[in-house]
Amino acid sequence: MKEISCKLLVMGAGPGGYVCAIRAGQLGIDTVIVEAVKAGGTCLNVGCIPSKAMIHAADEYSKATEMASGRSPFGITVSTPAIDLAKTVAWKDRIVGRLNAGVTGLLKKAGVKAVVGWARFRDGKTVEVDTETGLQVIRAETIVIATGSAPVELPFLPFGGPVISSTEALALKQLPPELVVVGGGYIGLELGTAFAKLGSKVAVVEALSRILPQYDAELTRPVAKRLDALGVKVLTGAKARGLSGKGDALLLEAADGTEQKIAADKVLVTVGRKPQVESWGLEEIDLDRDGPFIRIDDQCRTSMRGIYAIGDVTGEPMLAHRAMAQGEMVAEIVAGHKRAWDKRSIPAVCFTDPEIVTVGLSPDEAKAAGIEIKSAQFPFSANGRAMTLSGEDGFVRVVARADNHLVLGIQAVGTGASELSAAFSLAIEMGAQLEDIAGTIHAHPTQGEAFLEAALRTLGHALHI
């Protein structure tokens, strides 16, 4: 048994943990990070990055298919395209591998000691790690729990065989001819759309009355329209019941109460993720919980002195950039800086077709908070750049206080809209008023001009509509 001591120990090297460790290392803190699987966590290895790689590959293939069928608006024709999914997955794995090595290199450059193995609390200051070379005991003044999350399993559809989670879906070497997705949220729709574009016959079973229920209906309408055009069957208000006896179909109760059966080579279950709070000794330190999550305050402190928690294990929104921002903040707090969570908003992007971006409050959320608002949207159908990209469906919407024009929220749905999220977040974080956006020159021709026009329209004098 080996023993080491350090000032800061980070458990888990996902976006939360590795960013925390890198920043701590930069600040000269003697830091150890423990990771059981691979640096980069869910996001880099089986989440954000591989899913966006597969979505992009599917888009490319879908464009080629459109060209081959003579439906390309650009007048391009190609002979019948083909896809070798094993090669696509290998390409995706190379991207993941490069980023994986990148994170390991960044940790090293920051002087962080990386330990590979499963960490478990002995007490509030001591963690033991099962490493390949035996048990490693690490004593630390401060510990950051960044253990992330795992897919929720449905008891009547346990993972295994044809029932898969996003992790297996991102590693399939052969396209399932028929794919049923249970859960029409982020993962189900991002991956369901990609598989439909790759050529699978896709059905989505969503329990609530509409897909992506976390977004307002105006934002999700273009996505529903596109799913329809791609031939994706969407069953809302439907309850999955289990696999058929032969395991080749999903049994469900439709919205009208009828029992139905949909043929499925694979059933992708994407009904949410749960915090990873098992098997690392939470019972040894008995931290306060917030539902299933670890309760934290505005400095990510848990109920035990010297123990912080960040990322998915601490609650919604379970997004990589939230985890990273928390990780950076905690490292600075450990270094003695005065920091607290003071972010005005956390952007969210759904990489469907078209993409959805939300930052800050929607009109309904602002009204529900009792704020009198001004709001308007500018359609991409009136934006030159969107037309050149064949991305005319969708809009940018701005929500501002009626009295002082402070921008409270910005949302968009449109092809390539994800890249607008930076401008939206900056505007809200900097406390922009409508006049600030309206007074900023936006390059022409860009989709960003729709943001300018939405602000102008909220002020009552849009120029291009």
Site residues, ligand NAD (CB under 6 A): 154, 182-188, 190, 205-208, 213, 239-240, 270-273, 317-319, 348-351
Q: Out of 321, 397, 405, 457, point to the residue binding ligand FAD (CB under 6 A).
A: 321
From ligand NAD, ligand FAD, none, which one binds at residue 91 (CB under 5 to 8 Å depending on kind)? none
Is 350 within 8 Å of 215 (Cβ atoms)?
Answer: yes
How many beta carbons lie within 10 A of that of residue 27, not counting itself?
16
Taking CB under 6 A as the criterion, which residues in 279-298 touch ligand FAD? 280
Contact 130, 280 (CB under 8 A): no
Residue 71's SS3 state is coil
Using CB under 6 A as the binding rule, whether residue 11 contacts ligand FAD is answered as yes
**Binder to ligand FAD among 8, 54, 114, 187 (CB under 6 A)?**
187
Considering the rule CB under 6 A, would residue 353 count as an interface residue with ligand FAD?
no
Exposure letters 447-459 (e unless 16+ CB within 10 A, then b): bbbbbbbbbbbbb
Compute the distance between CA of residue 213 and CA of residue 223 in angstroms, rounded to an integer: 12
Contacted by 35, from ligand NAD, ligand FAD, none: CB < 5 to 8 Å by type = ligand FAD
The answer to whether residue 183 forms part of the interface with ligand FAD (CB under 6 A) is no
The DSSP line for 18-53 is: HHHHHHHHHTT--EEEEESS-TTHHHHHHSHHHHHH
Q: State which H helix or E strand residue 225 sits in.
A: helix 217-229
**Residue appearing with tokens 């309850």:** 239
Binding site partner of 183, from ligand NAD, ligand FAD, none, Cβ cut-off 5-8 A by kind: ligand NAD
CB of 270 to ligand FAD, least distance (A): 8
Contact by Cβ (8 Å): 295, 131: no
- The entry of ligand NAD, ligand FAD, none near residue 323 (CB within 5 to 8 angstroms by kind) is ligand FAD
Give the one entry of ligand NAD, ligand FAD, none that residue 128 binds, where binding means its C-beta sits below a cut-off of 5 to 8 angstroms depending on kind.
none
Q: In angstroms, what is the minimal distance from the CB of 125 to ligand FAD?
A: 16
Nearest residue to the partner ligand NAD, using Cβ = 185
Q: Among residues 9, 16, 192, 360, which is the contact residue for ligand FAD, using CB under 6 A?
A: 16
Closest to 434 in 3D by CA, of 455, 417, 414, 454: 455
In the block, which residue shows the tokens 């990209």?
389
Pick from 17, 185, 188, 192 the residue near ligand FAD by CB under 6 A. 17
Binding mask 113-152 for ligand FAD (x = CB under 6 A): -----xx--------------------------xxxx---
Q: Which is nearer to ligand NAD, 139 or 239 (CB)?
A: 239
Q: Which does 148 bind (CB under 5 to 8 A by kind): ligand FAD, ligand NAD, none?
A: ligand FAD
Q: Residue type at 431? A: G
* Cα 192 to Cα 159: distance, rounded to the nearest angstrom: 18
Q: Is residue 232 part of the contact set for ligand FAD (CB under 6 A)?
A: no
- Name the pairing type of β-strands 373-379 and 395-401: antiparallel
Distance of alpha carbon 295 from the chain centroid:
21
Helix, strand or coil, per DSSP, at residue 313: helix
Strand residues in 324-363 grouped as ranges (E): 348-350, 355-360
- Which residues are identified as catalytic? 444
CB of 164 to ligand NAD, least distance (A): 13
Q: Which letter does DSSP use for residue 430 in this model?
A: T
Q: Give the footprint of ligand FAD on this chain (CB under 6 A).
A: 11-17, 34-37, 41-43, 47-48, 51, 118-119, 146-149, 166, 187, 276, 280, 311-312, 318-321, 323, 351
